[in-house]
Structure 1
Amino acid sequence: MSHSAPPPPESGGTGYQPPLEETQATPYSSPNPGFPSGDAPSPAGGTPAGASSTARASSSSTSTAANPLADLHRFDLAQIGLGALLFVASLLPFYSYSFNGGALSVSQSYSAWHGFFGWFGVVLGVAAAGVLAVALLGNVAIPSLRLVVLGLFAASALCLLLALFVIPGGGYSGVNFSSGHSFGYWLALLCSLAGTALAFLRKDERVAVG
């Protein structure tokens, strides 16, 4: 079978013209008119930037109100904590006694509440921390608060220093008998001295009430 050549182009033509459907490209339609990248617009009910900032500020103020300790100075927090630790130390072995009689050996320990200077020093230190906590956390105005706290902590330290030399029952003397202090005493003394030092550093600070 013979194939006939394509007809010559008409006068002024440029050659073979492909069908129209092959030359026309399908126009691009954006899935979201007005947004070439196709990103969907924010919904009409979205949260404005100002409202988001207000919500964050409100959340921050709520968390601060829920945690009043967050606004306290670290030295004030330390004094309150030292008062609590001082009370715990008073319940630990404070005074120690031992007797060694050869075949018989006895050792015994007592808390700070066994001797006057021990328990009185603890009461003063706990009172100092309690007064400070009531004033700062309870928003209570106490005249000369800083000096009151300093005086109580200093008196506590003085009593516990005296307890170093005054031991209940320590007047008894014997070759095989000894008396002294246990770790609870040293912890209490350290707490009272640290509380006194911190109270001194904060003695000129004013407390805002209201």
Structure 2
Amino acid sequence: MTYEVPPPPGPPATPPKAGGRPGGSFDPASVNRLDWAILGIGLIVFIFSFFSYYTLDYSSIGLPFSKSYGAWHWDGGLFLAWFAMAFSVVAAGILALSIFAPTVSLPAAPRVLTLLAFGVSFVLYVIAIFAHDDFGDVLSHGFSFWLSLVLAGVGTVLALMRAQQTNTALPGPLAGLPRVGN
């Protein structure tokens, strides 16, 4: 009885490359500029949520008092701005997942989810303008609030542009929107 030596195994399996993508590492230049802008909007809105969303200016007996609150201040119904901020950050997070971890399964197309989250964020910011009409001369919206409102609107438009550029099927009445940008 003879014993045959098994053939040597094939070449060793190559470990996954950096970034988890087959065929090479992640190339930032491969990401569309508008996608980078959307990711940046989410980051900027998050950073500015810690600054002056609401300002309190009060004077009593000739002594001025001033205080500012970020989006993280929930007293007196100011939570709308926090939800608006959270939707902007979630929108950018969804897009980041689709770009940097494309194997992650989401319940709907990432571009649709990003568009809807930015749209909800913008609507919540607009509602927050009018929901606090009892501010009077004492409490008002601060710089970060207005900046975040504008960025949520820009994020909504950019997300719509990218969804249309990538031929993503938009749900319901959004499918009939005219094309924005090139």
TM-score, length basis structure 1: 0.61
Q: Structure 1, unaligned stretches of length 5 or more?
A: 1-63
Q: Give % identity.
A: 29
Whether contact under 8 Å (1:99, 1:178) holds in the other structure is: yes
The alignment of Structure 1 onto Structure 2 pairs a total of residues equal to 139
Shift of 1:164: 1.4
The counterpart of 1:89, out of the listed 42, 48, 66, is 48
Match of 2:98 in 1: 135
- Asked if the contact 1:68/1:137 (under 8 Å) is kept, the reply is no
RMSD: 2.1
Secondary structure of residue in 2 paired with 1:91: coil
Native 8 Å contact 1:75 1:198 kept in 2: yes
Residue 56 of structure 1 is matched in structure 2 by none
Alpha-carbon distance between aligned partners in 1 of 2:52 and 2:111, rounded to the nearest angstrom: 32
Partner of 2:80: 117
Aligned equivalent of 1:155: 120
Please identify the structure whose Cα radius of gyration is greater.
Answer: 1
Determine the C-alpha separation between the residues in 2 that align with 1:172 and 1:136.
42
Which residue of structure 1 lines up, in the alignment, with residue 162 of structure 2? 202
Q: Which runs of 5+ in 2 are unaligned?
A: 1-22, 169-182
TM-score by structure 2 length? 0.69
How far off its partner does 1:185 sit? 0.7
The residue number in structure 2 matching 1:126 is: 89
Q: CA deviation at 1:68?
A: 3.2
Amino acid at match of 2:152: S
C-alpha deviation, 1:121, in angstroms = 0.4
- Specify which of 99, 106, 116 is matched with residue 65 of structure 2: 106
Secondary structure in 2 matching 1:82:
helix
Pick the structure with more helix per residue: 2
* Deviation, structure 1 residue 75: 0.8
Classify the secondary structure of the residue corresponding to 2:86. Answer: helix
